[in-house]
Chain A
């Protein structure tokens, strides 16, 4: 348990790295399939996105109240007020990083292009192309890459601190 807590900082950053890498894979898949009109499910490719969720396993602060009956009562205006938060002994949960809740498909309608000669054209001559906006994907790619780098930095810092702790004695 102590060991698990020791490396929590690095595990949190690792969860961030994993989530960002998955996002990056989905962006790559979206860009690669920006023109795909046929999929096993039928119809054009649908833009995929990762739904991120804060991992709340330790998010609830541990409130250890020494003795609730010990909250100071003031029965006289000259009594000293003893705040109840005096008894919040431990409150040090910080959460366990991020997790990908699920991979969702963008349900917005496909992009219709008039091209009657295309084998996948419908009766009116329109071809349904994926609802992928390549420019949007590139922007997402930049922010995901930056977030990945930030997580790397945080992990490096955790590593440096743990290494520094080994220099004690």
Chain B
């Protein structure tokens, strides 16, 4: 016997498949039954087949090792046991995400125009003006449909009670969607029999939806679309190439593009210069245009901002949208939703403390051993303090940093992240996970069915980033009706 659910103990965490009493959750019964019927040999066979599929499909991510030794392509770590979400729950989450992204886009548009929300003092003016992601160069620009963040990847987590929260909104250049698509492909190859047990909503329309979204940013019927990548050393290069390929778009680097005297963007091809209408850029604002931002950038295109401001090219995501992706601004998102939409938020934020406000800051400083402290502008899990796991010395260091620059920090209680059964040496153990759905906004809005489930493969760890020992699972949105 290999997977024995009676020996599976998720407590004290909420488990996505198994209840505290060791029973399968609604809808998970068939999956658990099929899995427990597999012998060790069969499990091993499936796992080997998955590894082979990943290698032959070339699903990799790049780890930059630094120090001149370059970078290595690692095969994508994948767990065989899928994560299930009931369709009914997903529909509600999906509405919540649309609401959230709609409000956030209205917020960004307001920040770069009339700043009504600041005038009405819903949010202190200095938070915006001192934000290092506020781009004065974007003031007064009106991108198509009033949308700034066309591709958003929000991170969702569940706590011990089973409540789903938004942990953060990645409004700038979120990655991971190609792995969501590839996970499903691998799963279909390796476990076709599981798909007979369920009606699982497909995910493979994402490239079409993305292409549709990008097209809607141009008034042309068939605009030329390019994906702008920093190049092969970037950790998400696989995804850039994958999406360009799936959309039949050009994969370009900054050096492939030129901005003409007419402020139009062109790419150099063997046929000569060809105009580009929409750019899905996968490089940060600061690297995008050496004329405006980081003058040393070798990744960008001189004049790109000029072209964008003149309306000659659409950029997705728009420059400057990171202003809403700041973790201190995050704490205001429920207010932002109420302010612009006059609606109650459908999806809650994780309760958060702002270090700028004295009362909350004092609480944070007194309870550092219980809290997670996050800097306002980092991503990928860097620069955080996980209080309960940190040494006193490190907590003291953070206390000093918070006092020196309170605007740069916020804190959240240590969430007991939910778990799901994950294959460890031929049996299942609970491992923590999160979920990153992708929300597309153009002339219309689209939410992926499920998203990318990232799982912390190390026992007890809650760090799901692939660069730090995270893996992933296929995510099934399942219809029982």
A pairs with B: no
